[in-house]
Amino acid sequence: MSNSAWTSASLGDVTSESRRRAGENAVALERSVYGVDRYIGLNPIAKYTASNLERYKLIEQGMFAYNPMRLNIGSIGYCSQDITPGLVSPDYVVFECDPQKLDPEYLSHYINSPDWIEWTAKAGVGSVRMRIYYSELARLPILLPPLIEQHSISEILRSFDERIEVNHKMNATLESIAQAVFRQWFVNFPKADWETRLFGEIIEFAKGKKPNTTVDKPVTGFLPVILIETLDAGISSYADTENMVVAEQNNALMVMDGASSGRVEIGHRGIVGSTIAMIASKEDSIGDYFLYYSLKEKETEARKNLTGTSIPHMDKQWLFRQITCLPDQNKAREFEELAGSIRMKIQANLKESRTLGSLRDSLLPKLMRGEVRVKDEN
How far is it, in rounded angstroms, from Cα 40 to Cα 59? 16
CATH number at 7-144: 3.90.220.20
* Residue 194 CB neighbours (<10 A): 15
CATH number at 147-189+329-378: 1.10.287
* Per-domain boundaries in the chain: 7-144, 147-189+329-378, 195-326
Per residue of the chain (378 residues), give pLDDT as tens.
Answer: 456 689 999 999 999 999 999 999 999 999 999 999 888 899 988 888 898 999 999 999 999 999 998 888 889 999 999 999 999 999 999 999 999 999 999 999 999 999 999 999 888 765 445 789 999 999 999 999 999 999 999 999 999 999 999 999 999 999 999 999 999 999 999 899 999 999 999 999 988 888 777 666 566 668 888 888 788 777 677 877 878 888 999 999 999 999 899 999 999 998 898 899 999 999 888 999 999 999 999 999 999 999 988 899 999 999 999 999 999 999 999 999 999 999 999 999 999 999 999 999 999 999 999 998 876 554
CB 142 within 8 A of CB 10: yes
How far is it, in rounded angstroms, from Cα 117 to Cα 120? 5
Q: Is 7-144's fold the same as 195-326's?
A: yes
| pTM confidence score | 0.82
The reported pLDDT for the residue numbered 81 is: 94
Task: Give the helix ranges, DSSP H, for 139-274.
Answer: 147-182, 199-202, 228-233
Domain 195-326 bears CATH identifier 2.40.50.140: no
